[in-house]
Amino acid sequence: THTHTHPILLPFPLPQTSEFLKKRPCCVQSPEIIANFLQKMLPFQLTKAEKLMILNDRPVTVPEVTLTIEDCQERFSDETLADLIRAIKETLPEGPDTARNRTTAAAPAVPAARGGGAQSGGAAAAAAA
């Protein structure tokens, strides 16, 4: 007789995952929003994985969509890509980080501390914050 063994399940980092998802665009989507989005995506013939990535990340620029959709440049004309981005913007609400990032990008830059060195932080520290 053959005994089936199950792999050891590692503890899933639920608190970290939950905090991560609270900052993603998908945290503000309802079942109605998702159903509307899926209906709007039908003409684009996206894969399930592509639709899931769009739901999770809400890409709204050509570079973001190009990275999300396999062979995007070959599959879609510029006009169709613009239609896809418009449909994403119209059906999926912005997530909390999207609005915050737009506000941060519009804010004036804070001058870096004098003296340089690793302790001044600079742009890398600001980006990590």
For the chain, the first-to-last Cα distance in angstroms comes to: 57
Cα separation of 58 and 68, whole Å? Answer: 10
pTM for this predicted structure: 0.62
Helix (H, G, I), strand (E, B) or coil at 111: coil
Tokens standing for 69?
Answer: 């959709």
Walking along the chain (129 residues) 10 residues at a time, the average pLDDT comes out as 54 68 75 93 96 92 96 96 96 74 49 43 37
Q: Are 27 and 96 in contact, with CB atoms under 8 Å apart?
A: yes
Cα separation of 42 and 50, whole Å? Answer: 12
